[in-house]
Amino acid sequence: MDFNENFILGCSAIGAGLAVIAGIGPGVGQGIAAGHGAAAVGRNPGARGEIMSTMLLGQAVAETTGLYGLLVAMLLMFVKPLMP
């Protein structure tokens, strides 16, 4: 391997690490949403079904950001596009 290949591999590893950091935001957001959902059910137990379905839908949408970050990280680590 010469300098260019090592540089590309190093930049890919750094980029993959930065992409995985994208999982922090959805984790925090889902925790906040679950906490507020639990508080809402505690205040109004009769609306449990509506609160839970809305909360789970919102968490599923938020999770896509983390999954896209994981996908980008895996592509950077295992696909070598610029290698000869």
DSSP 11-52: HHHHHHHHHHGGGHHHHHHHHHHHHHHHHHHHH-GGGHHHHH
Which CATH fold topology does 23-76 show?
F1FO ATP Synthase (1.20.20)
Collapsed DSSP state (helix, strand, coil) of residue 70: helix
- What is the mean pLDDT, run by run of 10 residues, along the chain of 84 residues? 81 91 88 92 93 91 90 88 63
> How many whole angstroms from its chain centre is CA 75?
15
State the pTM of this model.
Answer: 0.74
- The answer to whether the beta carbons of residues 78 and 39 sit under 8 Å apart is no
Q: Which two tokens stand for residue 69?
A: 């970050």
